[in-house]
Structure 1
Amino acid sequence: MSIFRRGPRTAALLASTMFAGAVMLSASAHAQSTDNMQKLSNFQQTGASMEMETVPQTGPRADAFNKTLAGIKLPDGFKIALYAIVPDAREMAVGPTTGAVFVGTRKSKVWAVTDRDKDRVADEVKVFAPSIQFKLPNGVCFSKDGFLFVAEQNRVLLFPAAEFFYEGPDVAAFEVVKQGELIPPSEESYNHTARVCRIGPDDKLYITLGQPFNVFAPEKYDLYKKAGIGGIVRMDRDGKNRDVYAWGVRNSVGMDFNPKDKTLWFTDNQVDGMGDNIPPGELNRATEAGQTFGFPYFGGGNVRTVEYKDQTPPADSVKPEVEMEAHAADLGMTFYTGKQFPAQYRGGIFSVQHGSWNRTDPVGARVMFTSLNEDGTAAKSEPFAEGWLVDGEYLGRPASVAQLNDGSLLVADDTSGAIYRISYEK
């Protein structure tokens, strides 16, 4: 019998009971995950099943991806192919020794991608550390000595030997930043939650912290500046000695260090609702600690925000190195350090544009390349791979890029759930 035929009081009681049950299950799962973290930190087994979730790599989905990739435009000599089917694929971290690719998501899983026969196509995609309850583990990054960091919305985890123990469900895990201590819990939001991490030349951990609003209210200013929300924070690899490296950033979801001069470059998504053609997206360069990059006074480039138009911006605000097309949603980026690509690409920046969500005529959904001048500043940005946006429809949305150990380029597509590989042949 339908609950609605039993009267509103009965329906309300049943709904309340169901809600309470869901809360109890969630609390139980959280407690179990916390217990598992403690066990993994003590090198103990969690009892997780050895039958770990895997993702099929063949069949109709693979065929569909290959059909889409046939329409991608690249410079002469380059080709693109499906590397792996990975649900919700976002940031990628390539193991320095094994080449295994660890893939973050904006959901609840981290994936491990393995190319066992080294034919540059993944043989297996499986869930990583399944006994841990992740929350928005978008940011993944390796140190040069093989330590994997995972930056969640409000926690940072460390996996010292992920490359060599990810095949099983249990892998040594430690909290670098405990849950609720990356940002104040009161500032947790559903918006701009994706963190990105990198290990800098100083061997410190850098993390982007997007602010949750389109433009935050003045009463948030002091709190956000102190906590580094709307900026980039850095800390020792054990989480100590935290400071705010850069601020005045609306929502960065991509950064990398130039290995030549050690400067930090990052993308920034700019203010919405100001029109189709303003403000521009940004590619920025931080040359030292403590610099500010214009937000919230500027919505992007030199375009002032309505909310702060009557306030005087800091005189030392750093302007973007590159102004990208408005609302293209510039996300992940990486410096190209490989030798497979022609010389003109070496030392330059590959970045992605996720594609606009609130523009009359959509733009983006492509990979960009930015070359640099001899003095380390940006020279020119231009499309490198495009064709995922056809007649106003997204056939895919690139979210990040990473360099595979052979010098080819990986492109993650979170909307389609795949990773593509771009290679070059003379």
Structure 2
Amino acid sequence: MLRYALFTASLICSTFSAAADELLERLTLPKGYEISYFAKNVDNARQLAVSKSGVVYAGSRKAGNLYALIDNNQDGVADRKIVLAQGLNMPSGIALYNGDLYVAEVHRIIRFKNVDKQLSKPSFEVVFDELPTERHHGWKFIRFTDEGELLVPVGVPCNVCAENERFGRIFSLNLQTKKLTTIAQGVRNSVGFDINPQSGALWFSDNGRDMMGDDIPPDEINRVSVDGEHFGFPYVHGGSVLDPEYAKDMSLADMQKYVAPKLALQAHVAPLGIHFYRGKQFAKHMHNKLLVAEHGSWNRSSKVGYKVMMVTIKEGEITAYEPFISGFLDKEQTLGRPVAFAELADGSLLVSDDFANAIYRVRYNNK
């Protein structure tokens, strides 16, 4: 059944507020990199996708909106914002495939067919509606494989709870047969993954459980080697911490049957979007770096995260984890919270921020 989405259009104000300008001045990047606003006033911007014609699409979580952002004069700043849909159920995850825009709500996947051509009168259809309806960790990040299968995570509906085959997994959805296949299990809440363009392996972030103190358990960066691998939740966290409730009788040796993370991060940094840089604009050493958006802590006595980090991977192993964009946190004051990434055709990088309601553009200027 075809559904019609609510539509509004507006111009993005080209004069940024003093507070917004101050935020940009506080952000620090490696030498040669510049950051600017691609778009402002994009309420609760989350996952991003860029069409072949250059339209930038953005999902949201709390706002319930789906956006299209258009840079008509190709100056690196969006000058038109279209709200394609409102009132959706946490439409955080979006992905483009063959010109169609797929949007993940909590309970279903919807599709805007040939989306670039229907910006003036957008409509969508439901393509899959058999996902759980629980909203706790129900928002999603989605991505297509090269074979056309849609990767869809389903987070657990709790802080920590018993294992369930419907939750705590990353699934592959065949849109023709509607069949779900488990790609990874024992995954508490992944809101970011990407396929390494060199090896073809799936890497994903995972947010560790809460209420075990400031410093445990670690958040995680993981790699899938074999479909169906178990990454430990709810028994083992971060590859090293046994859960006090669900692993009471488990020995340290029992941990070995679960896949340990490739990188155990600081507790509560909340890694969300991850992205292998594929463009050619950045310095050569940045090619194939894995970028990680640390969204930042919410339940820690002193805040951590609030950065974009870059990961060096050699032969499938992480050899370095370094800051790429810092300054979203000023002592204990939150200024921004990075979420997800996308690349423009020129190789510049877009970064969404659901706290500052902004999308940044990062470019490299070796001059």
Shift of 1:309: 2.3
- Listed one character per residue, the Cα deviations across residues 371-391 of structure 1 (whole Å, up to 9, x for unaligned) are 110x23322111110001011
- The whole-number CA distance in structure 1 between the counterparts of 2:140 and 2:176 is 18
Q: Could you tell me how far 1:311 is from its partner in structure 2?
A: 4.2
- Contact kept? 2:12, 2:39, Cα under 8 Å: no
Q: Does 1:117 align with 2:73?
A: yes
Query: Could you tell me which amino acid in structure 2 is paired with residue 363 of structure 1?
Result: V
The separation in 2 between residues aligned to 1:307 and 1:239, in whole angstroms, is 39
| Residue 386 of structure 1: aligned partner | 326
Q: Which residue of 1 aligns with 2:84?
A: 128
Give the drift of 1:315.
Answer: 4.2
Structure 1 equivalent of residue 127 of structure 2: 176
Distance in 1 (alpha carbons) for counterparts of 2:2 and 2:209: 44
| Match in the other structure for 1:194 | 139
Q: Is residue 418 of structure 1 aligned with residue 358 of structure 2?
A: yes
- Give the corresponding residue for 1:90: 46
1:149 lines up with 2:102 in the alignment: yes
For residues 313-357 of structure 1, the C-alpha deviation after alignment (integer angstroms, 9 at most, x for no partner) is 574311111111111111111111000011111111111011111
Partner secondary structure for residue 355 of structure 1: coil
The 3 A distance-change label for structure 1 pair 88 and 377 is same
Deviations for 1:33-74, whole angstroms, at most 9, x for unmatched residues? xxxxx345xxxxx5x787x2426323453x422221111111
SS at match of 1:128: strand
- For residue 287 of structure 1, what is the aligned residue in structure 2? 225
- The 8 Å contact of residues 218 and 268 in structure 2, kept in 1 or not, is answered as yes
Instruction: For structure 2, list consecutive stretches of 5 or more residues without a partner in the other structure.
Output: none
Structure 2 residue identity aligned to 1:153? V
Residue of structure 2 in register with 1:207 after alignment: 152
- Cα distance change of structure 1 residues 318 and 67 upon mapping to structure 2, 3 Å threshold: same
List gaps (5 residues or longer) in structure 1.
1-37, 41-45
Greater share of residues in strand: 2
Larger proportion of helix = 1
Alpha-carbon offset, residue 210 of structure 1: 0.8
> How much has 1:125 moved relative to structure 2?
1.3
- 1:77-120 residue CA offsets vs partner (Å, 9 max, x unmatched): 0011011011110111111x112111111132101111111111
Percent identity between the two aligned chains = 37
Give the secondary-structure state (helix, strand or coil) at the position aligned to 2:171.
strand
Higher relative CO (Cα under 8 Å, sequence separation at least 6) belongs to 2
* Residue 139 (str. 1) matches residue 87 (str. 2): no
Which amino acid is the alignment partner of residue 213 of structure 1? C
The equivalences for 1:13-412 within 5 A come to 38-40=1-3, 52-54=8-10, 56-61=12-17, 63-85=18-40, 86-95=42-51, 97-107=52-62, 108-129=64-85, 133-143=87-97, 145-166=98-119, 168-171=120-123, 173-178=124-129, 181-183=130-132, 185=133, 188-189=134-135, 191-216=136-161, 218=162, 221=163, 224-225=164-165, 227=166, 229-238=167-176, 240-312=178-250, 315-373=256-314, 375-412=315-352
Q: 1:12 corresponds to which residue?
A: none
Superposition TM-score, scaled by structure 1 size? 0.81
Q: CA deviation at 1:239?
A: 5.8
TM-score, normalised on structure 2?
0.93
SS state of the match for residue 22, structure 2?
helix
SS for the counterpart of 1:104 is strand
CA RMSD between the two structures: 1.8
Change (3 A) 1:249 1:55: farther
**SS of aligned partner of 2:20:** helix
Does 300-309 or 414-423 show the bigger shift? 300-309
